[in-house]
Chain A
Amino acid sequence: MFLFFQQWRAECLKLLARKRTYLGFGAFLALEAAVLALVHIKGATHFKTLITRQGQVFDEYYSAPTLALILFMASVFLLGGIYMTLVSGDIVAKENEDGHMRMLLARPISRFRLLLVKYLTCVAYTVLLVQFIAWSAFLMGLAVTGWGGGFFAFVPELGIAAFYDWQTGMGKYIAASVSLSLSMITVTSIGFMLSCMPIKPAAATIGALSYMLIDFILRNMGFMEDYKHLLFTHHMQAAGRVLAEEPAWPVIIRSFAVLGAMNLTFFLIGFGIFDSRDLKS
């Protein structure tokens, strides 16, 4: 177990030593700063309408977690998905293309173990990136609105518009950020599976993004209503459901179980393909 941890640590250090790993972090900081600047310059009239329409006091709920949630939920899936598929699409395909895989596999390590180490590194990156986005957005929100106030949890696609005090709101915000981190692992898993195939890293990234967007587009089409349980983006909505006043835990648990099973399936398909490959230039 200690050896596995050492190998995973070495893989994480390798990932963190690459400049392109930080592209996602930089892009989100820029996006968050731009959106907050716009909110600040143009005024928060949209928020004001939304909050006052619910019969609540605007100044109370125009707070750091309210601002952060809107930034966070709107951007993680699409923009975050790009960076997650970029990293996971590279992790095997790029190493193979560059010849690193041959150096690694000349060592006494099984392909399964090597891939597991790499997959868990992608998972760690996904969680780290989503948490970074959640808390950088929160800090930027703090800079605009200051500490304290309530939390207005607004997820229109799930019909959630709930008001919480600061303490309960922070709990909900943390739960949402953790749930979103976990659900985004499926995007990473798709990128990883494609990366194990004998294709270029860019093809793996584009393939994973295409899968994600096709799934997302289908989810938003009315005639897929009866089949939405087959779409992973439908199950990813479980992350937003935790923000409801009374979360539908059976639905949330079922969705996370489906996402977990999909992750395992994507990993095993990726491993099966990679294990059958001859690694020779």
Chain B
Amino acid sequence: MALLEIQHLTKQWKAGKLALDDVGFSVQAGEIVGLLGHNGAGKSTVMGIMLGMVHPDKGQVNIGGYSVQTQRAAALRQIGAIYEAAAFYDYLTGWQNLKALCSLSGYWDEAEARRIVKLVQLHDRIDAKTGTYSHGMRQRLALAQALLPQPKCLLLDEPTDGLDPEGITEFREFILRLRDEFGMTILLNSHLLGEVEQMCDRCVILREGKKVFEGIVPGRGENKVRFQLTSPDVQEGRVVCARLELKMDREGIVELPPPMEGHTVLRALVEGNVRVESWQPHKQSLEELYLGLRRR
């Protein structure tokens, strides 16, 4: 069973703009799934609905079998979240902030909290007021509060926004460690393609409130084989490919269904008098996928 199930979410803001239009996807236990989209695509609205902070017009979210809309407390006990910018009480210390937030979950284990604080490398500054924290430290504290008390799943809403390159790298490594060492399921909301490409197994792409893609992040464990043709006769090459029931795109990229191999198509191209300058395996990037969806 999927740990997170997002079903037919529809949300219209008062201004009349449809923020979400029948969006649905699921996240299996142990996966890192990226929720991608341009600014205003509806990513944060999905997150808000998942946390019960935004009321959907239609649809629902189930977390670990509990509906957020009808069994909010039971559902949210399964997750930890960083939703929008991490806002702490600047007049309290990091430790006091953690304690205050954990009191709302009805759980406080000091030893566990110390362990998590050390894990996010904030143990040296945890007793300082959060008003003195850098942005990176605030993000680490946000991660610490999300990890208490031991959630099955993390919902991270643009967690690396405003971090410096070192901070982003550290954060990425930490998230991967959470999945690899602790089997954590993570839903990462981001508009940074590189971030999703490096961290996620699968991704869901939203565009103007609609889901336009759900699948494996290109280059991650997929079986599809693509070749790219460089030739002055691309149009003729497209005709040859069509005869083999293959589709060549504008960049000369052809996706081969298994078990077809590249040399089979190359032979057909040569026999069809196509002047082949190069015929090379092509690895599709997430950026290409994303931009391709945009052009549609």
Contacts and interface: CB of A to CB of B under 8 A. Distances in A.
Contacts, number: 89
B186 to A, nearest CB: 15
Contact of B89 (A7, A100, A102, A107): A100
Given A17-B89, A108-B73, A7 B103 contact: yes
Interface in A52-106: 98-100, 102-106
Nearest to A100: B87
Interface in B66-92: 72-77, 80-89, 91-92
B104 A107 contact: yes
Interface stretch (A137-145, A180-188, A261-269, A273-281): A273-281
A106 B157 CA distance: 12
B51 interface: yes
A210 interface: no
B76 A278 contact: no
A41 interface: no
B53 A278 contact: yes
Contact of B91 (A3, A6, A19): A19
Nearest to A3: B106
A191 B178 CA distance: 44
A276 B52 CA distance: 11
Interface stretch (B25-33, B94-102, B229-237, B267-275): B94-102
A248 to B, nearest CB: 44
B52 A102 contact: no
A45 to B, nearest CB: 47
A110 interface: yes
A254 interface: no
B101 A108 contact: no
Contact of B48 (A11, A103, A110, A280): A280
B44 A280 contact: yes
A7 to B, nearest CB: 5
A105 B52 contact: yes
A10 interface: yes
A200 to B, nearest CB: 16
Nearest to B48: A280
A159 to B, nearest CB: 47
Nearest to A8: B103
Counting contact residues on chain B (CB < 8 A from A), the size range is 35 or more
Interface in A118-164: none
Secondary structure type dominating chain A contacts: helix
Contacts of B72: 108, 110
Contacts of A110: 72-73
A9 B102 CA distance: 13
B54 interface: yes
B105 interface: yes
A149 B74 CA distance: 61
B101 A103 contact: yes
A100 B145 CA distance: 13
A18 interface: yes
B4 to A, nearest CB: 15
B105 A109 contact: yes
A279 B104 contact: no
Contacts of A280: 44-45, 48, 53-54, 84
10 contacts: A6-B103, A7-B103, A13-B96, A102-B83, A102-B87, A103-B87, A103-B145, A105-B51, A108-B74, A108-B106
Given A103-B87, A281-B84, 11 more contacts: A7-B106, A13-B96, A100-B88, A102-B53, A102-B84, A102-B87, A108-B73, A109-B73, A109-B104, A110-B72, A280-B84
The 6 closest A-B pairs by CB, nearest first: A99-B87, A108-B76, A107-B104, A10-B103, A106-B81, A279-B53
Interface of B: 44-45, 48, 51-55, 72-77, 80-89, 91-92, 96, 99-101, 103-106, 145-146
